[in-house]
């Protein structure tokens, strides 16, 4: 089980979380932040996406208890290819830590990822990434 580092603990603490929220974590392997978020959203839900099959397997192993209770789920998909399932409600907020498509390392993928994330959020949904103090909000297309 991966313990929450002081940096991740500060990021999770800075997120505007409350019970009942639907949260999307992008690039969430190995699942430490997702478990901490799950504790703070009560009857809400966190979906953790990761482009890596290995990463998704780590999340499923490390967050098995939260998956079993239904507060957490995973999906293997890159942020720039993510879409809501037809049965899936939009998310209230999204966050990412060390995701190249969102921190400027991969601008083309980042533009696509921001469009996909915006489409998966409620009209008032917000995206946060690391790199602020400890987070910064990212402007989304059409907002």
- The CATH number linked to 104 is 3.40.50.150
Residue 17 lies in a domain: yes
At residue 2, the pLDDT reads 61
Token pair, residue 15, equals 């997120």
Count of structural domains, the chain: 1
The 8-class DSSP code of residue 40 comes to H
Query: Are 92 and 21 spatial neighbours (Cβ–Cβ below 8 Å)?
Result: yes
Low-confidence ranges of the chain (pLDDT < 70): 1-2
Q: 30-68, pLDDT tens digit by residue?
A: 999 999 999 999 999 999 999 999 999 999 999 999 999
Buried (b) or exposed (e) across 102-127, using 16+ Cβ within 10 A?
bbeebeebbebbbebbbebbeeebbb
pLDDT score of 124: 96
pLDDT score recorded for residue 1: 52
Specify the pLDDT at position 141: 85
Q: In this structure, is residue 64 part of a structural domain?
A: yes
Tell me the C-alpha distance between 74 and 30, whole Å. 11
Asked if residue 1 is part of any domain, the answer here is: no
List the domain range (segments joined by +) for residue 121.
6-138
């Amino acid at each position: 089980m991966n313990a929450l580092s002081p940096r991740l603990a500060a990021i999770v603490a800075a997120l505007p979380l409350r019970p009942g929220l639907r949260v999307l974590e992008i690039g969430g392997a190995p699942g430490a932040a997702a478990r901490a978020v799950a504790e703070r959203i009560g009857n809400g839900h966190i979906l953790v996406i990761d482009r890596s099959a290995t990463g998704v397997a780590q999340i499923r192993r490390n967050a098995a208890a939260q998956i079993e209770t239904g507060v957490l789920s995973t999906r293997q998909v890159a942020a720039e290819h993510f879409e809501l399932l037809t049965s899936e409600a939009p998310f209230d907020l999204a966050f990412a830590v060390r995701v190249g498509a969102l921190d400027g390392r991969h601008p083309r993928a980042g533009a696509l990822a921001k469009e996909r994330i915006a489409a998966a959020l409620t009209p008032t949904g917000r995206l946060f990434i690391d790199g602020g103090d400890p987070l910064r909000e990212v402007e989304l297309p059409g907002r």
